[in-house]
Amino acid sequence: MRRTWFAFAFLLLLPTVVQAQSGNPLHDQLTDLTEQARQADVFRIFSGGGLGCQAVTASYFAGFDRGRAAYWDFRCSDGAQYRMSLPPQRFARLSVAVCGALGGGVASGPCFQPVGRAPAASGGTGMGVQLAGGQQAAPANSRFGAVYTTDAPMAAFGFGNGSADRLAVNTAAVRACQAQAGPVPCKFQGEIVNRCGALVQGVTRHPNAVVMTSDLSTMVLARNFPGLGATVQAAEAEAMEACRALPGVTCRVAASGC
């Protein structure tokens, strides 16, 4: 579930070796870089480790644990989020975990939040929660929803709507998606504000399945189609119309609600 690389591979990417100021030399080296250089070096680590990250677009220092291990979070251009764990020993192994990977505890999330601040940090299930527009202001008494999915061919998803708690509905949606997806990263697809929403999936039968059922193992995802509307029916209709334009797939309403 978690991928690891030797720390010296990371050190070789950095231009200088600085004196440890925090008690964690790897963290100090990462901190000493500009944001652009940090993203470039971490991208090379991800590429060398086989992660399908096209570019690193954001970094965030989440804090230290009691053992002085440092945790850094990174977002890729495709929306995937990863947490890098940097041990305090100079030549120890560093590790990278998918945000939301089950059983990872603080090592896999919650990402882009300070270590120990989020409810799931001690519960063993992390999540990468992304709020639309950096949590833009919404009218009073608004209701919120969120959609998270995996990329094709996996049809995992998480959907929630109608909550007054913006963070809670995002957290629940990504947790539901990640419970289906395991180590495959779930990605933020969109936020719903004061609207009804739907998620339609264009799927085909898995080659190893006799028939296609609601079980994810019997289907192959071609594409996800989110929809919005004043009613559930309108949201489903918008998503179904887009899906039906894709030839050779079965269009299924995966989730909907107001």
Express each pLDDT in 126-151 by its tens digit: 334 444 444 445 677 889 898 989 88
pTM tops 0.75: no
Task: Name the phi and psi angles at 185, rounded to 5.
Answer: -70, 135
CA angle, residues 18, 20, 25, in degrees to nearest 5? 85
Q: Which amino acid is at 142?
A: S
Lowest-confidence region among 17-21, 32-36, 175-179: 17-21
Amino acid at 57: T
**Listing from the earlier edge strand, what are the strands of the sheet with 196-205?**
219-229, 196-205, 250-257
Q: Which residues neighbour 167 within 8 Å (Cβ) at sequence distance 6 or greater?
A: 129, 131
Residue reference for tokens 């720390």: 7
Q: What is the pLDDT of residues 4-30, one digit of tens each?
A: 333 333 433 444 444 446 778 888 888
Average pLDDT, the chain: 78
pLDDT digits (tens, 9 = 90+) for 102-126: 555 677 767 777 775 433 333 222 3
Residue type, 80: A
Cα dihedral 113/38/4/188 (nearest 10): 50
